[in-house]
Amino acid sequence: MSKRIIQYTAFAFSLALFGAGCITITTPPATTPAPTPAAAVPVAEAPVPAETATPTPALPTPPAPVCPQTPQVYYFNKLAFSSAELASIDANVVQSLIAYYDSLSGQEIVSIVIRRTDSGISVESVIDQADSTEPVFNAFIHPRTGGTYPLWVPDVPLDYHG
């Protein structure tokens, strides 16, 4: 299997998460029986006393939405990373990236894909924005220094006022 196919497959899984969003599980309302034809209805029915009438059941409360845990973090060839590298990536890159986007109003990271490069790691993320129907894609190369990964800080120009 080629590297390109694997990359697109993993990316498709990330997009599948984006499209899922929160899922509210609902049950269909109780169906009422079909009306009985007039010929089959008896001519006289005995009155039902008020005490024995069955109360109308209350409508069930709607269930809470079921959301996938976000962000989902994927590693290409995770076994190639040592446990120290994985801990460093999680603490210094993944958590820092999540904290940054959590600080921005209406943005949530849906998935992060990490793979090793010659000089560090490639980090690709899919971000959901509340005011848009399209996802935002973010990618960058994060360097490795001495076998660990330094703290990630956003690369925002000083004159940016967005």
Question: What confidence tens digit (pLDDT) does each residue in 121-141 have?
Answer: 999 999 988 888 888 899 999
| pLDDT for 126 | 92
Q: Please answer whether residues 18 and 128 qualify as being in contact, where contact means their C-beta atoms are separated by less than 8 angstroms.
A: yes
CB-count burial class (<10 Å; 0-12, 13-18, 19+) for 129 = middle
The total of other beta-carbon atoms located within 10 Å of residue 110's CB is: 22
Selected residue with higher pLDDT from 96 and 42: 96
Q: What is the mean pLDDT of residues 50-75?
A: 68
Which CATH architecture fits 3-20+64-143?
2-Layer Sandwich (3.30)
Sequence spans of domains, the chain:
3-20+64-143
Q: Please answer whether residues 76 and 114 qualify as being in contact, where contact means their C-beta atoms are separated by less than 8 angstroms.
A: yes
pTM of the prediction? 0.57
Selected residue with higher pLDDT from 18 and 14: 14
Which among 40, 24, 12 is positioned nearest to 111, based on CA atoms? 12
Q: What is the mean pLDDT of residues 100-119?
A: 90
Strands 136-143 and 107-116: unpaired
Query: What tens digit of pLDDT does each residue of 93-103 get?
Result: 999 999 998 88
Which among 23, 22, 21, 162 is positioned nearest to 105, based on CA atoms? 162
